[in-house]
Structure 1
Amino acid sequence: MRGTAALCGLAGLALCNAETITDAACEASFETVTAAAAVKDLNPGWNLGNTLDAIPDETSWGNSAQEATFDSIKASGFKSIRIPVTWADHITTQSPSWTIDTAWMDRVEEVVDWAIARDLWVVLNIHHDSWEWADVTQSGADLAMIEEKFSALWAQIGDRFKCKSSKLILEPINEFPGDTQAHGDELNKLQDMFLDEINKAGGYNPQRVVSLGGLGHDSAKTSQFFERGTTYPDQPWAIQFHYYSPYDFIFGAWGKTLWGSDDDKAVMEADFANLRSNFTDVPIFIGEWEANGNVEPAAHWKYFDFLIRTANANDFSTILWDNGAHFNRPTSKWVDPSEPELITAAVAGTSNSLADSTVDIAATEQESSAFVFHKVGDPVVAQKVSYALNGNTISSITNSAGTALAATDYTVADGVVTFTAEYLGSLYSATDAAGTKETLTVAFSAGASLSITIVLWDTPTVATNSFAVDASTDLKIPVAWNGLHRVAAVKARKADGTYLSDDWTVYLPALQQGYWTFGSWGWDDENIIVYASGLSTIKAAGQEVTLSFESFPRIMGENAVNITFTQ
């Protein structure tokens, strides 16, 4: 068993009692903190993703860091900002100095200072360098160069940030690649070199909390390969890991749009318990986690709530990964306003009510209380949505204008809300055009509010449903969505009836058999998209291929538009 030293041992021997210290090299004083206290206090946190870590520069992936964003994140209840930084394209001289461009260092410091000025914790790292130049799994990897460059970068970063507040936590490298003991040994060695460089830089770095981790920041590999070195035993330290599981649900792959069964929950509980059992007394936080905002909302909410509560049970803190899919930086609004409420309430131990949705993997239809779906042409009737209230009561239901619905518009009994046919008939008739008719907000006596999107739907249509495959560029196909403007899943079949790729999906439940991974397809507000990588897969099939683009509500054999590709 590793890492079982008491919190006032390896995780902070000389720092059990917080104190104010000064250093001649620094203008401001420094409030010492144990790693345990720091990890507890940074919860919950948010990642400034795909920004300073973008390649080759800050705006290359469509984002830029704005000071006002940090005000919004703090106002949403978050206590920390993880700031991933890729340094690879900002090095002005090569071996042996590996000098970081001064303007880039200034920019990183500026962003760090924005957070600290708002009394937010900061986790600062070396990010995509892990695969840009530090990938030891590559054939012929130059370990001497990697170690030299890594040390040079941390000597400079450590020097620049040595006088910062104890709210700054340093993380040596993000998701270091590897699968073997040799890879793990190399990462352990690099983390000792990181400690050496920041301590030699001086200032308050010897008292600063650091975040260490295992290969890929994976919990299982951390348990298997991570070893805390014996150097700098007084350095307060914590373990960081990342959690994106199950991959198919998190990233909308292979038709996985259900989550929340007892089996789903048991997997997460086992993953977290395994790591905690291997590091019983070490402060631990999840530095990245999310469920992509494109997944079905009710399942999404259940995942958010359960992950936070399972983290609480294992004394883990959490930092949400966000590349712009969760908090919309240009509008300064959350894409799903329920997300920050779910997170902050769960961290505080407050019960969230949750919308019911399908969890039966054998299902051929998917129900969700995040929606009221009504098909064009059907008579208008009363409809129900149900909730797991978790000890709460429904306190109000308001429309998009903020007006409370009348008592005659709905009834509530045992967590089931029934909207009357009269109320729904005020929003749409059987013959109205398809589309979103209203978005309601359901507030509860405690915890997060949740939305109900009322949608009149029909099967999507396209003007052209057959194309000669051309893999040279992405293909955008204009679509009349006739309901929600999004794709739920894509089934991909060859003319001979076999699956286009991933034959193993034949063993998956019906709503996942033969479905394509998200990276091959996408959508925007007006188009279905097949990416060039997906078109290449179609081209390689050597025969006609049909893609079935399914929308919500998912009903097997319905609510899908078929696109055929000829060779």
Structure 2
Amino acid sequence: MGAISVVALALWTFGVKAAPTIAICSTTFTPVTASAAFKALDPGWNIGNTLDAVPNEGSWNNDPIQASTLATIKGKGFKSIRIPVTWGYHFSDASPTWTVDKTFMDRVETVVDQVLALDLYAILNVHHDSWVWADPTVTNANYTMIEEKFSRLWDQIGARFACKSSKLIFEAINEPAGNTQEHGTLLNKLNDGFLKSINNAGGYNPQRVVSLSGLGQDMVKTSQWFVRGTSYPKQPWGLQFHYYSPYDFIFQAWGKTIWGSEADKASMAQDFAYFNGNFSSLPTFIGEWSAAPANTETAARWKYTDAFIKLCKKYGYSQVLWDNGADQFQRNTGNFNDPTQMGILFSAVQGKTNTLADSTTDPSLTSQNTSAILFHKYGDGVTSASVSYLLNGNTLLSIKSAGKTLRSGKDYTFSSSGMLTLSQAYLSTIYAPTTAPGNLATLALTFSSGAPLTLNVTQYSTPTISQKTYSLSQINLNSEFYVPINYAGLKQIASIKALLSDGRYLADDWTQWLPPLQQARWTMGDWEWKDEGLKLNSNGLAKLKAAGTSVTLTLEFFPRVPGNTVDVTFTQ
């Protein structure tokens, strides 16, 4: 615990409602501007689904965060760690004191101290409280309670962390709910109450950099309704927004597995220009974003990451990667799910130009290709094969696999336009027509600038399922249900087409207006893919039941080419 006065500590410990105002620090504090602090965050990492889990740390499939994990994250090159915390299940009493349980406060402080001990910036917030108890959109929402409880919570956080170094940043509230001027007005009051609480707590808080929030930490809503109050004008502050756009690509919704067209990049650029146009003079960082390997096609993900970081660099926005413990970093192994994506991220942050794998960007097509994976169909003869790269002015330096350098002119050729062709002779050393499906080799390509890229050589066949028809009457609709899949290549479902027995769509009739590979596709959220197969949750099962007739799910796999699908039917 940082050094604060005995009186201030007693006020917090015994739940006196008056905010502690006399924290006296014995440590040193180096003031920093919001602009400098936000710039130093880049790149950052979120400890997602951990201290913010509901109701407790560990409830959302993550073990308690370890100091060793934080040290590994620093070793990977991250400069800051955002610490989402949900406090709403850890109040030891109710109104009017709303005292935070001391054990939980101690735990949060331990994690903060571990981050600061690594000389990293730490961003501490109030996270899912935004919907646990501080949601103004619910019926009969008690605005008075929200304001009082919010201020009381920050009284305590401000007191406990008053003497921490200037590398601790306070974030008022994560993604606050709301979609009206009234909700925006309440949030502006909460931001004012937050500033009052931390300043009244004393210590170094009046000099501490803070991140204020607009509704949803959304570009548009923040632009519409965020207003900074006039109190505490000397407080160093800035804004934070989150970016998960376009939704259908980021969350693998409605069959969207491509990104990277000129229109895609222009749309992202327009988003950034819009926000910057409204808040060009304010320090700003992006507190959450992600294009997770589980949800996105590889080459498209690489292109998205590169374009996103370039725009962040253009506008001077640091970014903090969202990671729920499964999205990006494997905490148990210390490895990233897609190291190449992270290489692209870090290279772009450093201002380097990345070469990128090419992939389909035309949504009107009925098949898609990627240059991140060289797919070979089981049973086909072995021939030379080509993939293309977006060089962006770079040149190829070398290709290696399993520690051996491939020979230019014999194992491969590489054109000035970025076309890599692997020879029949070389590919014959990797697979034969009947080699068992799966990833058979990984090639590492190094270029004159930017991150190295990987090229996986994968034999594939159409997956199979042992049971093709299920009766909903024999399934527990209130639980999860799995359809086992015998994968034959990538262990991933690209999309699901869901049709009723009469040809109508199971859900989202409007997808009829989308491109061919998105029509009738059933969005993730009702289903997800697992290594063992298709997982349907209770919401998904309820939709199948509500159809009132048989539903056929066409499971589509990578590569997305005609015939690489499996049907499973659910009857009533």
Whichever residue aligns with residue 431 of structure 1, its letter is T
| Structure 1: segments with no counterpart, 5+ residues | 1-22
Residues 155-554 of structure 1 aligned to structure 2 (within 5 Å): 155-294=155-294, 295-324=296-325, 325-399=327-401, 401-407=402-408, 408-414=410-416, 415-469=418-472, 470=475, 471-554=477-560
- Inter-partner Cα distance in structure 1 for 2:88 and 2:443: 46
Question: Aligned partners of 1:287, 1:403: CA distance in 2, in Å?
Answer: 41
- The alignment partner of 1:379 has SS state of coil
What's the CA shift for 1:512? 0.3
- Give the Cα separation in 1 of the matches to 2:37 and 2:494: 40
Cα distance in 2, alignment partners of residues 71 and 422 from structure 1: 45
Quote the offset at 1:432 in angstroms: 2.0
User: Which residue does the alignment assign to 1:49?
Assistant: 48
1:196 aligned partner, one-letter code: K
| C-alpha deviation, 1:431, in angstroms | 1.8
Which residue number corresponds to residue 83 of structure 1?
A: 83
1:229-260 Cα shifts (integer Å, max 9, x gaps): 00000000010000000001001110000001
The range that moved more, 75-84 or 199-208, is 75-84
Aligned to 1:19: none
Tell me, in whole angstroms, the C-alpha distance in 2 between the residues paired with 1:238 and 1:485.
43
Aligned position for 1:105? 105
> What residue is the counterpart of 1:29 in the other structure?
28
Partner in structure 1 of residue 13 of structure 2: none
Q: CA deviation at 1:284?
A: 0.7
Question: Is the 2:485–2:534 contact (alpha carbons within 8 Å) kept by the matching residues of 1?
Answer: yes
TM-score, L = length of structure 1: 0.94
Distance in structure 2 (CA, Å) of the matches to 1:78 and 1:445 = 24
Q: Secondary structure at the match of 1:178?
A: coil
User: Displacement of 1:516 after TM fit?
Assistant: 0.6
**Quick check: 1:460–1:481 contact (8 Å CA) kept in 2?**
yes
Q: What displacement does 1:404 show?
A: 2.5
Q: Distance in 1 between matches of 2:172 and 2:347?
A: 31
| One-letter amino acid of the structure 1 residue matched with residue 308 of structure 2 | L
- Between the aligned partners of 1:431 and 1:315, the Cα distance in structure 2 is 52
CA distance in 1 between counterparts of 2:505 and 2:153 reads 48
- Which stretch shows the higher mean deviation, 169-178 or 419-428? 419-428
Please list the CA deviations of residues 299-346 of structure 1 after superposition, one character each: whole Å capped at 9, or x if unmatched.
000001101101111221111101121011011101111122211211
Change (3 A) 1:535 1:31: same
Report the AA paired with residue 532 of structure 1: S
Give ranges in structure 2 of 5+ residues lacking alignment: 1-21
Q: Is the 8 A contact 2:23 2:201 kept in 1?
A: no
1:129-151 residue CA offsets vs partner (Å, 9 max, x unmatched): 00000000111001111111101
Aligned to 2:302, the other structure's residue is in SS state: helix
Whichever residue aligns with residue 97 of structure 1, its letter is: T
Check whether the contact 2:34–2:237 (CA below 8 A) recurs between aligned residues. yes
Distance 2:168 2:41 in 1: 11
| 3-state SS of 1:553 partner | coil
Deviation at 1:528, TM superposition (A): 2.1
Rounded to whole Å, the distance in 2 between the matches of 1:525 and 1:322 is 20
Work out whether residues 212 and 239 of structure 2, in 8 Å CA contact, stay in contact via their aligned partners in 1. Answer: yes
Structure-2-length-normalised TM-score: 0.93
CA distance in 1, matches of 2:434, 2:321: 43
- Deviation of 1:32 (Å): 0.4
Equivalent AA in structure 2 for residue 393 of structure 1: T
1:122–1:169 Cα contact (<8 Å) kept: yes
Root-mean-square deviation (CA, aligned residues, Å) is 1.2
Which position in structure 2 is the counterpart of 1:150? 150
Q: Determine if contact 1:76/1:340 at 8 Å carries over to the other structure.
A: no
- The answer to whether the 8 A contact 2:23-2:202 is kept is no
SS in 1 for 2:89: helix
Do the aligned partners of 1:77 and 1:340 also contact (CA within 8 Å) in 2?
no
Residues 14-42 of structure 1, C-alpha deviation per residue, up to 9 Å, x if partnerless?
Answer: xxxxxxxxx98112110001101111111
- Structure 1 residue 212, shift from structure 2 partner: 0.7
Q: Deviations over 1:498-532 (max 9, x none)?
A: 11000000000001000011112122222222222
Name the SS for the 2:534 alignment partner.
strand
2:43–2:318 CA contact under 8 A, matched in 1? yes
Aligned partners of 1:403 and 1:197: how far apart in 2? 61
Letter in 2 for 1:318: Q
Q: How many angstroms apart in 2 are the aligned matches of 1:136 and 1:525?
A: 40
1:348: Cα distance to partner?
A: 1.5
Query: Is contact 2:23–2:159 with CA below 8 Å preserved after alignment?
Result: no
Q: Displacement of 1:398 after TM fit?
A: 2.0
- On the 8 A contact 2:301/2:341 being kept in 1, the answer is no
Distance between the aligned counterparts of 1:449 and 1:286, measured in 2?
A: 26
Q: How many residues align?
A: 543
Q: Which deviates more from structure 2 when the two are superposed, residues 188-197 or residues 382-391? A: 382-391
Code of the residue aligned with 2:311 in structure 1: it is: T
Contact 2:23/2:162 (8 A) holds in 1: no
Shift of 1:75: 1.5
Question: How far 1:62 sits from its partner (Å)?
Answer: 1.1
Residue 552 of structure 1 aligns to which amino acid in structure 2? F
1:549 CA displacement: 0.7
SS at match of 1:438: strand
What secondary structure sits across from 1:157 in the alignment?
helix
**For residues 377 and 457 of structure 1, what CA distance do their matches in structure 2 show?**
9
